[in-house]
Chain A
Amino acid sequence: EVQLLESGGGLVQPGGSLRLSCAASGFTFSNFAMYWVRQAPGKGLEWVSAISGSGRSTYYADSVKGRFTISRDNAKNTLYLQMNSLRGDDTAVYYCAKSAIAAAVMAAGGLDPWGQGTLVTVSS
């Protein structure tokens, strides 16, 4: 069974940093692109970042470019999101998700499954 388990969320002050992790199991991790998607309280889904299976290709939403860094350790089956210079509008539940079929970041196949999410709260 494919499982994704996020961790690392919590309360952080504006300007601070946090690193999220997503532990994956039940599939060959390096064969699939991975994603971070967030959801602010009471709001819709917002794509944050994506990384190819090899880790060589990364993509970011304009809202986080230059502040967030996505990475992966294929030996540890773990996806990361390093978040720096955090702002109040970064407050959200952060989900990791797996590409359903591909190592490349692409639309085919969709995102499946998603983890249960980890809450990041940026507040003083």
Chain B
Amino acid sequence: QSVLTQPPSVSATPGQKVTISCSGTSSNVGINFVSWYQQLPGSAPTLLIYDNNKRPSGIPDRFSGSKSGTSATLGITGLQTGDEADYYCATWDSSLSAWVFGGGTKLTVL
């Protein structure tokens, strides 16, 4: 079981908006920055959101991040078929002295 909890899957149609949740605890999400990663089929993960809500250069503003308490959320608007991928949240756990990842969420764009 992953330390961070994500829904296993979400789906939506092209053009719609989807959100992916990431639930943690006071020792990880509650006090540390959350980052999000996109893993396209057959590829290595890439950084999508860092420091809860910042986008690296080159990441479109259709992708957004937020955090409240011990939960973080990834939002994707204007869904495209190319957004079909696995999405992971991650952060540092100060009690474990370890990085922790969510179990991943498979996004299907119908």
Contacts and interface: CB of A to CB of B under 8 A. Distances in A.
Contacts of B104: 44-45
Contacts of B97: 59
Given A44-B104, A46-B101, A107 B44 contact: no
Interface of A: 35, 37, 44-47, 50, 59-62, 95, 97, 100, 105-117
Interface string B73-110: 00000000000001010111000011111111000000
User: Chain B contact residues: over half helix, strand or loop, or mixed?
Assistant: strand
B45 interface: yes
A97 B45 CA distance: 10
Contact of A47 (B44, B50, B98): B98
A113 B57 CA distance: 12
Contact of B32 (A35, A107, A111, A112): A107
Contacts of B34: 107
A107 B92 contact: yes
A93 B80 CA distance: 28
A106 B35 CA distance: 11
B12 interface: no
Contacts of A44: 2, 86, 88, 101-104
Contacts of A111: 35, 37, 47, 90
A95 B51 CA distance: 21
Interface string B13-41: 00000000000000000001111010100
A45 B56 CA distance: 21
